[in-house]
Structure 1
């Protein structure tokens, strides 16, 4: 997903968190001198927020707010685990709640670009440490002893000389009246008792016993239900509809046209609103809609692929690359093709909206609360402070639930019917409407010298670029090579920097098909082409693929990484009866490497025997979360490589459910080993970097076993 690089300084962050209490609210602001001024805004309360993230009851129970969405990636564990470490509380003393959209209080809240830990760990550690120091000072003041004689542990402040103790619950009111410390000392990693440990996730029991609240579980008094018949051709308009049969269905209240904003375009549909979801769905079945599909292309996959292949020929090749290739001992070219993909979250889209005269409230599986708050404020003409966005658990997101279209549509329906409404997308709605991951085509060329080193490498791509739909204006002429840096995720590996002549660029393909972020964004397709081509160059040079990559690495971190990947996989001991493939990628601040091992089944077909994954995400919180995310990425990558794709016919998505867009089954999943690098690097992402290396590593392994190069995804593993 897109990366939000916004961050706050520690001091500004503390000032903006609104040091506060549930009823005794302590607001932080700046005086003319620049010092923090604390003002009391309320009265005593049984439980108080010490800082925006932390509330403490008089029983000592701590509530930590998770300001990020939780869609399985572990923020509801990792964020409390970071804060609890410096706050000096055990996680069994902690409850976790989702924070509502409030950028002034919680800072940016997007769940994108694997940014939750890597973008916020230092600030969140300081939040916990600042609260701890305020509690320690409150205890020292009560005992009339030096602060230096006190320390915190297990939710208590302890006076070292006497052993006296005060629980946080007894101290929070006094602590909330203190100014936050200007500087705090964070723990050394060796002193951690919480961070770095595989502590059990607190959301797992709720998700297994049915008490976790997902979007579809939320109910409001007087809530109605709506489903929407949307034009399957994306940009078509409603010409006419006949709702007579729909209104005859018991429980159907109203039928109305509705829009939703998809980037710069307004997509139209007809909503059926009813007392129950069943009634709304039955009403939709008998609704008759006539569409106006004029004014845009009704593309099919063959035409779209032909257009992308043609676009590969439009940009001029790099002159320096062409000059270098003329002097190469060997040179090769190859074209790679990757398909459109749906997000296919296990939980389809849904959203509750309640629009009233004094504001808007939203509940649902929201991946990007701030953006949705700001978008609704602008589109509905409501001050941002009067738009409240409540996050529930998400049954998957992968970028799709960061988008603003489905809350916008729900808000328009709620405003029209003057009641809270839950809009539910069926599986077919969710899969065929998009936005999708774009298909992408790549033309690669490269050359090696007489010593087997790469002297030139060029990759051109033709794909829909996400940014093209932010404006309805025609897309510009082909950009120069390297101009569109937004499509370069996964192409920053240091061994490219060792290549004397390297270039990457391409052409944006224009189409009415909506495209957006999909787990790891362009890295998922870029890596397939480029890491497959690196393997082809290694073969042409007669070099071992792993050693070939090592020989193009000057970076110490990368060399340590590839040494560790070799060691944990047993690469030097591989036998001739199996095929081994490797791929390395870097995106979202982390390095990931996969080695895939394939073998022949008794019937002669190829099977994936095992996958060995290594991730270097630098500083990390919970190793179990990392392993789960990498495993999930591999399974998702397996589906995209060998199982499913979205195709188009006459301007419509063909695949509409899992019968034609099959998911990997448990019998398809090989043994997966996930290893984590230990080093002192800054925190990187985890949720996305584990996906891009899989497809090229798999295809490289198949070549090692069979001699057959796979350059087009998806492919049928049983047909290799």
Structure 2
């Protein structure tokens, strides 16, 4: 990792009122990290107190991925701090924390005509955009890519001035001093950070910062499952004892509670309700109406929910989302629609103009996030000041949405960021916070809005449904010579970008569904060497609002490609592992993952009746790559799909925290099991068919298989593993079921739910 003035934040007098971010030209921001009594702020990333406590700012939302441990661990390692004295606090929205790698990855959304000018991970134009727009978004596993360098630089600068302060006392060169476990040491002398921090705050650090020779890194062999940890998760103790505070735990003086009823999905409007019936519910306070929903406010949430039931809101409904209409539009687009070529290799038109040896059709249902915590937000409105307590993956977009909805200045919207009880990209949407603010204004008092599970499914934004055809031509030995992927689905990322960046309503954003959208097709170019290849996207408007979900298009792509590869291997009479390995000579890292997983799982060839299936995948985000190989053992019994074991090997570059990386892959595999077994819905007359969590076929504790996760050591830039398990589990399970003797399934979920 290289440090330059362009890539780090440098303190102005280190405790001064400004921090500078260098890109095309220096940028200055008000210091986003306020220091309390007995604290000294060192840049935008950390404070050190006279009690020795090091407080680290984390600009990203904690939603189970462990970012409130990872960034503090980066700081603690670089600073030489004692992990027992590390604290964490959410950072305010500021351009100082702009997520440039994500801005680069999404450049086609905010720079659609010339996205190529900002699509490189180190793009100066993307960095300027992220700073100017305070683009502090948590998505696509870009947190370390966005913040590690700046956090290390801040810690290196703080370590340097602490060493300078100690060196002045000892009359030695500060470069001869080191920081260890919260002390500056020189030979046998040592002074604590607490003793030095006041003096250090008056000194000027080196420019540029002087980081340690080695970045933070843990080797997997040092931390097998169950081993003692150097940096246990900071959020774990409070989550275990129940004191961890989520959005639904916020309590304010004079606060009321609100429940909500949304219009069906479509072009709908509220036309009436029975206010008198609602007033008969004990605890009821008032109703707040909006064209697209009705909310009830009461002294407790259950009273609000009962009042809504009594009020029986009525909606005028047209152009409703419907399973039949969605399927018809996708099918028509797949057969007749105009396609955009996403990728082309060799001469696919010549090779694929003749008869295909194998053709497979696929059906992908709308997938639901199914987070443990439904959308919750607390709001307090006082004139032009709006305070919001909510989890948000895009806090500046949330502030803009609230300001626009209430017609107040942006400066008047204060967001108190809360952690999310599982988001899976659902909290990129700000609608719940806007609704809470509108209800609070209508009620004239602070209000906490909590969606019921049913309303979460009505108002949620599922991962897009899709139809696909894969066609192949093969050589006499069965090896793949030409491959075509044709996928019909909405331009879901264009639609998402219109809402997030342009402030479009859900209905307005639907107009983008039939546009060209390369972002919606990421991952659909196979990792395998194929002499002749073409990938086509047929964008289609389906009038069902869609949004990002963990893994996004990679989850669809992995399922299509990896199950199809198994079919080709079977037709050729080839063993699935060797069939893939023959096409992975250019990617030895992925081949290594797959071979090691096969060895750990005692791969038996995946022959019929064995119940073993495999899949592998390479994922690229912000110029960083992650790879995973997975062997699944699965079968069907009287209770449906049963997964007995999952064995995964991942190559995710340099690992900052092995335990968190393992957790992320294990959790992702369980999430992927949910996508394979259910987590989907269809729509009838604008309403989802599955309204309860128990209807989604999600794995329960008794369904969870034995999971083994191993890592390949690497010094490449860290890759966030949170999505790898989620995207690789469904195809591996599908292949395992086929080898167990079940019918080859080409639907996702495998149960056919939501189709």
> What TM-score do you get using the length of structure 2 for normalisation?
0.84
Native 8 Å contact 1:325 1:456 kept in 2: yes
Per the alignment, in what secondary structure is the counterpart of residue 113 of structure 1? coil
Distance 1:525 1:643 in 2: 14
**Partner deviation per Cα, 1:320-369 (whole Å, 9 max, x = no partner):** 424213578x7210001121122111111110112223532211222322
Native 8 Å contact 2:594 2:628 kept in 1: no
Native 8 Å contact 2:19 2:44 kept in 1: no
Pick from 255, 260, 266 the counterpart of residue 287 of structure 2: 255
Per the alignment, in what secondary structure is the counterpart of residue 578 of structure 1? coil
Native 8 Å contact 1:639 1:664 kept in 2: yes
Matches within 5 A, 1:8-27: 11-12=5-6, 14-15=8-9, 25-27=16-18
Query: Mean Cα displacement is larger for which, 83-92 or 349-358?
Result: 349-358
Native 8 Å contact 1:71 1:395 kept in 2: yes
Q: Offset at 1:417?
A: 3.0
Q: Offset at 1:19?
A: 7.3
1:274 aligns with 2:298: yes
1:540 aligns with 2:571: yes
Could you say which residue in structure 2 is the equivalent of 1:28? 19
Distance 1:506 1:678 in 2: 36
1:350–1:686 Cα change, 3 Å: same
Distance 1:129 1:387 in 2: 34
Distance 2:409 2:475 in 1: 63
Distance 1:691 1:179 in 2: 46
1:463 aligns with 2:489: yes
Pick from 367, 371, 376 the counterpart of residue 402 of structure 2: 376
1:476–1:203 Cα change, 3 Å: closer
1:134 aligns with 2:161: yes
Pick from 126, 139, 158 the counterpart of residue 185 of structure 2: 158
1:507 aligns with 2:538: yes
1:36–1:288 Cα change, 3 Å: closer
Distance 1:19 1:414 in 2: 42
Matches within 5 A, 1:129-208: 129-160=156-187, 163-189=188-214, 198=229, 199-208=231-240
Could you say which residue in structure 1 is the equivalent of 2:271? 239
Matches within 5 A, 1:46-85: 46-85=38-77
Distance 1:591 1:492 in 2: 15
**Partner deviation per Cα, 1:47-100 (whole Å, 9 max, x = no partner):** 222222211111111111222111111111111111111011121111122223
Distance 2:166 2:287 in 1: 62
Native 8 Å contact 2:654 2:718 kept in 1: yes
Query: Mean Cα displacement is larger for which, 335-344 or 561-570?
Result: 561-570
Could you say which residue in structure 2 is the equivalent of 1:557? 589
Native 8 Å contact 2:367 2:462 kept in 1: yes
Could you say which residue in structure 1 is the equivalent of 2:689? 654
Distance 1:400 1:44 in 2: 34
Pick from 210, 225, 247 the counterpart of residue 215 of structure 1: 247
1:205–1:191 Cα change, 3 Å: closer
Could you say which residue in structure 2 is the equivalent of 1:262? none
Distance 1:117 1:10 in 2: 17
1:190–1:499 Cα change, 3 Å: same
Pick from 446, 455, 476 the counterpart of residue 429 of structure 1: 455
1:302 aligns with 2:302: no
1:523 aligns with 2:559: no
**Partner deviation per Cα, 1:444-494 (whole Å, 9 max, x = no partner):** 101112343322111111223322463638757966xxx531122333543
Native 8 Å contact 2:392 2:418 kept in 1: yes
Per the alignment, in what secondary structure is the counterpart of residue 381 of structure 2? strand
Per the alignment, in what secondary structure is the counterpart of residue 293 of structure 1? strand
1:708 aligns with 2:743: yes
Native 8 Å contact 1:336 1:529 kept in 2: yes
Native 8 Å contact 2:373 2:421 kept in 1: yes
Gaps in structure 1 of 5+ consecutive residues: 1-6, 260-267
Matches within 5 A, 1:307-322: 307-315=329-337, 320-322=347-349
Could you say which residue in structure 1 is the equivalent of 2:522? 489
Native 8 Å contact 1:224 1:420 kept in 2: yes
Could you say which residue in structure 1 is the equivalent of 2:111? none
Q: Offset at 1:710?
A: 0.9
Distance 2:403 2:712 in 1: 44
Distance 2:428 2:12 in 1: 26
Pick from 701, 724, 741 the counterpart of residue 689 of structure 1: 724
Query: Mean Cα displacement is larger for which, 530-539 or 210-219?
Result: 530-539
Distance 2:597 2:701 in 1: 26
Native 8 Å contact 2:627 2:650 kept in 1: yes
1:595 aligns with 2:642: no
Native 8 Å contact 2:679 2:696 kept in 1: yes
Query: Mean Cα displacement is larger for which, 334-343 or 97-106?
Result: 97-106
Q: Offset at 1:513?
A: 1.9
> What TM-score do you get using the length of structure 1 for normalisation?
0.88
Distance 1:662 1:606 in 2: 10
Could you say which residue in structure 2 is the equivalent of 1:414? 440
Distance 1:177 1:18 in 2: 11
Native 8 Å contact 2:563 2:731 kept in 1: yes
1:95 aligns with 2:130: no
Q: Offset at 1:509?
A: 2.8
Distance 1:704 1:61 in 2: 56
Pick from 235, 243, 259 the counterpart of residue 227 of structure 1: 259
Query: Mean Cα displacement is larger for which, 392-401 or 446-455?
Result: 446-455
Query: Mean Cα displacement is larger for which, 462-471 or 58-67?
Result: 462-471
Distance 1:224 1:385 in 2: 25
Per the alignment, in what secondary structure is the counterpart of residue 144 of structure 2? coil
Native 8 Å contact 1:444 1:460 kept in 2: yes
Could you say which residue in structure 2 is the equivalent of 1:286? 310
Distance 1:285 1:87 in 2: 56
Q: Offset at 1:717?
A: 11
Gaps in structure 2 of 5+ consecutive residues: 100-134, 224-228, 499-503
Q: Offset at 1:113?
A: 0.5
Native 8 Å contact 2:46 2:57 kept in 1: yes
Per the alignment, in what secondary structure is the counterpart of residue 695 of structure 2? coil
Q: Offset at 1:700?
A: 1.3
Distance 1:55 1:308 in 2: 54
Distance 2:367 2:93 in 1: 30
Native 8 Å contact 1:85 1:192 kept in 2: no
